[in-house]
Amino acid sequence: MVAVLDFFKSLLSQPAWIMGIFAFVGLVALKRPGHKIMTGTLKPILGYLMLSAGADFITANLTPLGEMIQEGFHITGVVPNNEVITSMAQTVLGVETMSILIVGYVINILVARFTKFKYIFLTGHHSFFMACLLSAVLQASGLKGTQLIVIGGWFLGLASAILPAIGQKYTLKVTGGDDIAMGHFGSLAYYISAWVGSFFKGGEENSTEHIQVPEKWSFLRDTTISTALTMTIFYLIAAIAAGSEFVATLSNDNFILFAVTSALKFSVGVAIVYSGVRMILSDLLPAFQGIATKIIPNSIPAVDCAVFFTYAPTAVVIGFISSFIGGLIGMFLVGAAFGVFIIPGMVPHFFCGATAGIYGNAAGGKKGAVVGAFINGLLITVAPALLLPVLDSFGFANTTFGDFDFAVIGILIGKLFEYLGSAGVYGLLAVLSAVVIVPNLIKTKSDVINHITQE
């Protein structure tokens, strides 16, 4: 039984395979010829593997940057990291997490099929992280065994459908109408960034992608070049602050050369991500039409945050820098308020900050990108600090999740149990269930039009 669960956990926690399965089902539903089914299935898998390879390359080169910053500026504290706390939790909650992941996918598909929440969450590793969080906080709330698995899977499936829906109006602004949704558990912070950005003047003329650059600086329009130059400044400052002796513990290269090379490798990782995204979008969306028309009517794929990078590449760099600055300021504010330093993690501030910048730009142009991503930086500093006591009660001391949605859900369940006991947890589940069921009972003008059109 454990071996079977482990197989499905491995399968469902890998977005490349999930995308391939859905693409295959969609193409079969559309009755495409065999060779097109093969290529249409392989390309989203290969595209996501390319995206993942680029993300791994970025992460590998961000790690030493974070270490140099901590050493050079004498910062000590907690670095939020999804992977670290998930690996810790697997030693005691492995079966529960795997089971919640499987039940969660079933619930998500059922919700998409039978309700108006048509979003299918395809970012498997984030579903796995959320399953891990739910297994921890629900067990700390007194749930065990089958009860824990069913309730956890129910929460996961509902969150996977509801969270993409909350900010879909902003996502459509980002994509210009491309029918995809945000499938990443940092989403609430992105939507808040877009909402904050909406207070500024948006439009094409104010977009980060239309920044006026003098002819002699036109090379900065090349995203790979501008990213490389920006990150080189970051790395050089960090390397000089850390000193050559410390950098020597990270690499045998000269510390200046190591800093510049790491920055250039980072930009190469970003370029690989962009290439993977283009391959995913070119084949996943047409294939998904088969699911949307034949199997789960009007369904929409909710995809990883990095998929949105190609829609506003300049906002990616602006968002990262603004979010990181917000994280630095938030670190001192949280330290003064709670007595714990949440050190800005390079990985969440790059991926989440970049996405927040994209959403802020879509709603409010350049100013929206800067301010929205800055707010994201504050949010992913304060929220993990508030989640720490909840996780500490389960024995995960001095570690926390890095992305905003994890903190919101973990804190919400933890505090409801603290004040209301199990009734609070069940009450929240009932509210979320009502959110997806009640709209189905209300017939709108669009429902009537769709019914007439189908007939």
Domain boundaries, the chain: 2-454
The pLDDT, as a whole number, for residue 90 is 63
| Distance from C-alpha of 259 to C-alpha of 231, rounded to nearest angstrom | 9
143 vs 86, 108, 409, 428, CA distance in Å?
19, 22, 16, 15
Sheet holding 181-182, edge to edge: 119-121, 300-303, 181-182
This prediction's pTM: 0.85
| Distance from C-alpha of 206 to C-alpha of 24, rounded to nearest angstrom | 40
Quote the tokens at residue 221. 């329009």
pLDDT in tens, the chain (455 residues): 667 767 776 777 777 888 888 889 889 988 889 998 999 999 989 988 998 888 888 888 888 888 888 888 877 677 777 766 776 666 666 778 878 888 998 899 999 999 999 999 998 888 988 988 898 888 877 888 889 999 999 999 999 999 999 999 999 999 988 789 999 999 999 999 999 999 998 777 789 888 776 666 666 667 788 888 888 988 999 899 999 999 999 988 899 999 999 999 988 988 898 888 888 878 887 887 788 778 889 999 999 999 999 999 999 999 999 999 999 999 999 888 887 888 888 888 989 999 999 999 999 999 999 999 999 999 999 998 888 887 776 656 566 788 999 999 999 998 898 889 889 999 999 999 999 999 888 866 555 434 433 44
The pLDDT, as a whole number, for residue 270 is 85
10 vs 128, 230, 309, 329, CA distance in Å?
9, 37, 26, 38
Which three-class secondary structure state does DSSP give residue 434?
helix
> Is the distance from CB of 428 to CB of 413 less than 8 angstroms?
yes
> Is the distance from CB of 449 to CB of 298 less than 8 angstroms?
no
Q: What are phi and psi of 119, to 5 degrees?
A: -90, 130
Neighbours of 145 (CB within 10 A): 10
* Tokens 């539903």 sit on residue: 29
Cα atoms found within 13 Å of the Cα of residue 21, Cβ hemisphere only = 13
